[in-house]
Amino acid sequence: MTDKQARRIAEFIAPLRVEPGSKVDLARDFDPRYRARLRKRDSTELLRTGVSLLAEYQSRLAAQDTYGVLLCLQALDAGGKDGTIRHVMSGVNPQGVRVSSFKVPSAEELDHDYLWRYARQLPARGEIGIFNRSHYEEVLVVRVHPENLDRQRLPEDARGRGVWKRRYREINDWERHLCDNGFPVVKIFLNLSKEEQRTRFLKRIDLPEKNWKFSAADIRERAHWDEYQRAFSEMLSATSTSWAPWYVVPADRKWFARICAAAVLAHTLIELDPRYPEVGKAARKELLAAKRQLEGEAPEGAERDPYAAEHGD
C-alpha cells in the first residue's frame, strides 16, 4: 500500500461522508445514482483490487490483538446489503469475520435493554464484525413503527418524546466507548432510490429463484418510504460523529455500491494500520534454536533447510 493509493481511497470516499454536525436531507444531499464518473466496465478490476487489499489488511488485523473492527450496514429492503457482504468480503479469511443479521427482536432480547443484543455480537480483537442491520434499527424501524417501542417495555418516563434524541446520544456514546477501546465502528448506509427498489422487487417476483427474498411485508414497508427517508435523514445528522462518521453509499448501481463499501472499509483498516507482531529477542533466539534442531533432523541426502534452498535465502 503506497501513500498515493491510500490518498486516492480517502479522496474517493470523501464525498460519501456525512460531515459530523451537518444536517442531512437525503433527497437533496445524496444521489443514489452517483458513480464518480466510473464506468461499469472498469468495475470488476477495481473491486478485485479492493478485495485483495481487504484480504491483506484483514490478515494483518487477525495477527494482532489490539484492534477489532465493526462494520454496520443499513439499507431499506432490496438495498443490497447481502450482495455487498458477499462481494466485498469474498477475499477474506472467513475465520476472521463474523456476520450478524438482526431481525425482529425475540422475547429474550426484549427482556433486555435495546443495545444488549447488538453488544452480544460485537467482534473480538483481531476480528471484523459485520452487522447486517444494526443498532440503528432502534431509531429507524422502531421509530417508523412505534408499536415496536411499546414491546420494549421501557419505564414510563423513558418513553416520552425525547426518546429518539436520547437514543442518538446513547448510540454515539456507545460507539465512542467502542472506538476508544480498540474497536473502530464503520457505518455504511446503502442509499437506494424508490424507483430502483420497485425494479428490484419486481425482479424478485418475476424470477422464481428470487421469490424467497420477497415478502408481502416489503410492500407494506415501501408504503412508509417518506417516513423512512425522514428517519434516515435525522439519524444520519445526529449520529455521524468524528469518531464514527456515516458514509452514504449510492446504491442504485450494485457494482458501484460494492466498490464504495470496499473503499470505506479499506480506508478504516489503512488508518488503523495493523501490523504483524514483531518477534522479540528471546523469541527470535528460540526460533533459531528450533531451526538448528530441524536442520539437524534432515534425512540423508535431503537439504538441511528445504524451504531456504528452494527460495534462495
221 belongs to the binding site for Mg ion (CB under 5 A): no
User: Left (φ > 0), alpha (ψ -120 to 50) or beta: where does 99 sit?
Assistant: beta
Q: Name 191's bridge partners.
A: 250
137 belongs to the binding site for Mg ion (CB under 5 A): no
Contact 58, 96 (CB under 8 A): yes
Choice from 32, 77, 88, 105 touching Mg ion (CB under 5 A): 77
User: In this complex, which beta carbon is closest to ligand AMP, that of residue 103 or of residue 311?
Assistant: 103
Instruction: Find, among 65, 62, 121, the residue nearest to 94 by Cα.
Output: 62
**CB under 5 A: which stretch of 46-54, 73-81, 86-94, 142-150 binds Mg ion?**
73-81
User: In this complex, which beta carbon is closest to Mg ion, that of residue 67 or of residue 136?
Assistant: 136
How far, in Å, CA of 267 to CA of 272, rounded? 9
User: In this complex, which beta carbon is closest to ligand AMP, that of residue 125 or of residue 213?
Assistant: 213
User: In this complex, which beta carbon is closest to ligand AMP, that of residue 102 or of residue 243?
Assistant: 102
Residue for cell digits 472467513? 94
Q: How far is the CB of 217 from Mg ion (least distance, A)?
A: 8
Q: How far is the CB of 196 from ligand AMP (least distance, A)?
A: 17
**CB under 5 A: which stretch of 46-54, 70-78, 182-190, 299-307 binds Mg ion?**
70-78
Residue for cell digits 494483518? 60
Instruction: By CB under 6 A, name the binding residues for ligand AMP.
Output: 102-105, 133, 137-138, 141-142, 148
* Cell numbers linked to 252: 442504485
- Bridge-based pairing of strands 69-75 and 97-101 is unpaired
User: In this complex, which beta carbon is closest to ligand AMP, that of residue 19 or of residue 150?
Assistant: 150
User: In this complex, which beta carbon is closest to ligand AMP, that of residue 142 or of residue 192?
Assistant: 142
148 binds, among ligand AMP, Mg ion, none (CB under 5 to 8 A by kind): ligand AMP
Contact 201, 214 (CB under 8 A): yes
The residue at minimum Cβ distance from ligand AMP is 137
88 binds, among ligand AMP, Mg ion, none (CB under 5 to 8 A by kind): none
Binding-site size for Mg ion (CB under 5 A) equals 1
User: In this complex, which beta carbon is closest to ligand AMP, that of residue 84 or of residue 268?
Assistant: 84
Instruction: Find, among 10, 16, 19, the residue nearest to 30 by Cα.
Output: 16
How far, in Å, CA of 131 to CA of 178, rounded? 15
133 binds, among ligand AMP, Mg ion, none (CB under 5 to 8 A by kind): ligand AMP
Residue for cell digits 522479540? 280
CA contacts within 13 A on the Cβ side of 226:
0
Q: How far is the CB of 80 from Mg ion (least distance, A)?
A: 11
Q: What is the 3-state secondary structure (H, E, C) of 234-278?
A: HHHHHHCCCCCCEEEEECCCHHHHHHHHHHHHHHHHHHHCCCCCC
Q: How far is the CB of 179 from ligand AMP (least distance, A)?
A: 23
Q: Which residues bind Mg ion (CB under 5 A)?
A: 77
